[in-house]
């Protein structure tokens, strides 16, 4: 029997048809790690009841949600469109450039609502002895997307966002991850926007 000094984790996701309505995951997330932090606030009024020690008694939930973060990960070409759909613009479909290439355009109009796509996130923690803990978070959206690159290295990616409160779940099984294609810095290009909200055409060469 294998014993793990560090719990093994697995992450998966699925795009929601209706925002906030959890769905079964459709593919594993290509990530080095993710963190989930509960953000629960309860109102506990310290009412004077004539006792020497005031009992808090009643509790009223004010907010219950989750803050999630994706650890620095080599940029997954196969899934970058998913991350962009969570923050920049939703409902984007690809256009065929030729018989072998597709173009995804996340052209955001500043005056319009981006209507991002929400996702359901799943996580499994496998502990020593074969025990597992499965959880899910519906209505996951991204707040920040960060791209980093350095000469002679890969393009890395980080993300952070929010979702609904943690729920007990059952990990969707038998999913196959993409092979994973990762762009390197030497073969990447950065373009400057000519106008706010438009796709850039000016190549930044230095």
Q: Give 146-150's long-range contacts (Cβ < 8 A, gap of 24+).
A: 147/75, 148/72, 149/185, 149/188, 150/185
Say what the pTM is. Answer: 0.86
- Distance of alpha carbon 123 from the chain centroid: 12
pLDDT score for 7: 65
Average pLDDT, rounded, for the chain: 87
Q: Which residues does residue 192 pair with via DSSP β-bridges, in sequence order? A: 202
Residue 153 near residue 37, CB atoms below 8 Å: no
From 15, 21, 7, select the one nearest 167 (Cα to Cα).
Answer: 21
pLDDT beneath 50, residues of the chain: 1, 4
160 token code pair: 């952070």
Task: Locate 181 and state its tokens.
Answer: 């294609």
Predicted pLDDT at 56: 62
For the chain, the C-alpha Rg in angstroms (whole number) is 21
> In this predicted structure, what is the pLDDT of residue 100?
75
- pLDDT digit string, tens, across residues 168-200: 999 999 999 888 788 888 888 788 777 766 677
Note the pLDDT of residue 18: 97
SS3 61: strand
């Amino acid at each position: 029997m294998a014993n793990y000094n560090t719990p093994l984790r697995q992450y998966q996701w699925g795009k929601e048809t209706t925002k906030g309505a959890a769905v079964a995951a459709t593919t594993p997330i290509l990530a080095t790690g993710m963190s989930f932090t509960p953000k629960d606030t309860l109102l506990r009024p310290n009412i004077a009841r004539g006792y020497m020690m005031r009992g808090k008694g009643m509790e009223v939930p004010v907010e219950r949600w989750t803050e999630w973060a994706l650890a620095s990960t080599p940029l997954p070409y196969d899934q970058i469109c998913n991350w962009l759909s969570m923050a920049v613009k939703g409902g984007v479909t690809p256009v065929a450039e030729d018989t072998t290439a597709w173009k995804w355009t996340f052209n955001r109009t500043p005056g319009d609502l981006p209507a991002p796509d929400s996702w359901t996130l799943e996580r499994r923690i496998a502990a020593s002895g074969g025990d597992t803990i499965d959880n899910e978070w519906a209505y996951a959206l991204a707040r920040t997307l960060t791209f980093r690159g350095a000469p002679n290295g890969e393009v890395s990616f980080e993300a952070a966002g929010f979702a609904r409160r943690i729920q007990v779940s059952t990990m969707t099984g038998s999913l196959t991850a993409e092979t994973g294609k990762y762009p390197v810095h030497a073969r990447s290009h950065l373009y400057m926007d000519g106008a706010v909200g438009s796709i850039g055409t000016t190549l930044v060469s230095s």
